[in-house]
A and B are shown apart, each in its own frame.
Chain A
Amino acid sequence: MKQACKADLPALIFLFALLLLWQAGATGMGAAYILPSPTQILVRLWELRIPLFTVHLPATMTVTAIGLAISLVLGLALAAAMDSSDLVRRMLYPVVVVSQTIPTTAIAPLFVLWFGYGIWSKVLVTVLITFFPIAITVYDGLRAANVEMTELLRTYGANRWQIVRAVKIPCALPYFFSAVKMAVPMSVIGAAIGEWLGAKSGLGYFSRRMMTQLDGAGVFAPIVLLSAAAMLAVGVVALLERKLVRWRGES
């Protein structure tokens, strides 16, 4: 723990210096509706704690969690299908890659038209943003499974499922965790974008409402909360990874 702090010290000092600079600049400018200072944002966060923590944070986290869960199921299923059948891979892989050139944010207003102001339009944005990195990264992980290990198991008479369990899944596990660590912040962003475009609650919606009231600090406060939530979630995933993947980097 002590060592970890030492390693992060330069980053922390740099971050602190940036915040100081921001504080000085914002104070000098004195236009809090455009550029609030970090202390003003923190104060506002404290003032707004009741609606933020009881209504909007839970709303956004619900969207994030549902979206991420659907993305995981969809992404893993797609990766497994592409790995197990060459035909499926040739059918889906190019389509999946090309689908990523569609700017999700630009067509997201359509989802609001289709699914209304409820959570499903936001969930759809989240899924569209996150399922791709999960599917492609996990697929690459399954592909990267050691050929020699697979062959050795075949000489023992292993069937396909035994090879998947003994070699492919363990080989793909580090890739899976990389994918989830990428997908978690993206899903938070996806949820916020969805809410920004039209919602009844959520941190993205709240931030936008504060914008219309020219409350600069009020715009930033939910954003700070969003990043904190994303960081916390990534931290939890990293902890889980350290528990499950003890062999990363070896072999």
Chain B
Amino acid sequence: MDTGKMTALEFESVSYRYPSEEFDIIDGLSFRVERGSFHCIVGTSGCGKSTIFRLTNGLLASKAGRILVEGAPIGGGRKQYCGYMPQKDLLLPWRTVGENVALPLEIRGGSSKAERRDRAEAALEDVGLAGCAGKMPHELSGGMRQRAAFARTMLTGSDLLLLDEPFSALDFLTRITMQEWLLDQWQRHKKTILFITHDVEEAVFLSSSVLAVADTPIRSLLEVPVPADYPRDRSCLKRPEMTDLREGLIDLLRKQVKG
């Protein structure tokens, strides 16, 4: 990661221990993510990759070290510096899709109801859900719900997006469509995206470089650049260097499962 460019997110020897555990699941971890990049964090389940997100979005407080977003440390009441999107879409079933999408604006305050509705409608239109603002969440399909959740994440207004396995509950065809759609969104909006997945193929297809969790406790992230340019389509996955990369990552993760 080039230090010359602006850093969107930086961990400075961060440690964290869950109260119920005997060891630090994250142990002196340092890494930085440059602005405008797209990284996937891959690792086996339970390796602690979601903990990295929960530390960044402030749901957990680190034991030691500093976390900087856009060069400034988090905490101290700093709000909406990152957009967090969990695996489940978590659309509130008692609100319309539009009201759900407007939730970050509503919580930030200082906007009128009409203003929020307009911005929610615009955000929905942007993710290809024009005219869905008045519907209830259960009227949308799985892929549409994830897009609505993404629109909601966008309305946090932050440049750093943390997506935690957002497509893992979708069926295969919907998932690959959503991957292409997400790349398109990323290129248009110039956001910094960190994307957790355990699907190696998904990681290779999406990332500019993959950040692999090689062992638990997490002391470092192994950065593996992906040899393909954007815009991409799925045919690039068949290229020999891409399949090699995929197999290499699978080997790396399997070693950890056995170990």
Contact = CB atoms under 8 A, between A and B. Distances in A.
Given A151-B59, A166-B103, A250-B138, A156 B92 contact: no
A155 B85 CA distance: 10
Contacts of A173: 94
A148 interface: yes
A153 B93 contact: no
Contacts of A157: 79-80, 107-108
B48 interface: no
Nearest to B93: A247
B76 to A, nearest CB: 12
A154 interface: yes
B88 interface: yes
- Which bracket fits the contact residues of B? 20 to 34
A114 B107 CA distance: 51
Main SS at interface, chain B: loop
Contacts, number: 51
B130 interface: no
A6 interface: no
A26 to B, nearest CB: 51
Contacts of A149: 90, 92
Contacts of B79: 156-157
Contact of B94 (A148, A162, A247): A247
B107 A251 contact: no
B86 A148 contact: yes
Contacts of A154: 58-59
B11 interface: no
B61 to A, nearest CB: 12
B57 interface: yes
B155 to A, nearest CB: 9
A247 B92 CA distance: 9
- In this complex, which of B84, B94, B108 has the most chain A Cβ atoms within 10 angstroms of its Cβ? B94
Contact of A246 (B82, B86, B94, B103): B94
Interface in B201-226: none
Contacts of A152: 84, 86, 90
- In this complex, which of B58, B80, B82, B106 has the most chain A Cβ atoms within 10 angstroms of its Cβ? B106
A251 B156 CA distance: 24
A158 interface: yes
B104 interface: yes
A156 B106 CA distance: 10
A119 to B, nearest CB: 38
A157 B90 CA distance: 16
Nearest to B84: A155
A170 interface: yes
Contact of A148 (B80, B88, B107, B138): B88
A155 B104 CA distance: 9
A250 B137 CA distance: 10
Contacts of A247: 93-94, 136, 138
Interface string A129-152: 000000000000000001011011
Question: Which 3 A-B residue pairings sit nearest by Cβ, starting from the closest?
Answer: A157-B79, A247-B93, A155-B84
Interface of A: 146, 148-149, 151-158, 162, 166-167, 170, 173, 245-247, 250-251
Given A149-B90, A156-B156, A247-B94, 6 more contacts: A157-B80, A162-B107, A173-B94, A245-B94, A246-B94, A247-B136
24 contacts: A146-B90, A148-B90, A149-B90, A151-B59, A152-B84, A152-B86, A152-B90, A153-B103, A153-B107, A155-B59, A155-B82, A155-B84, A156-B79, A156-B104, A157-B107, A157-B108, A162-B107, A166-B92, A173-B94, A245-B94, A246-B94, A247-B93, A247-B136, A251-B93
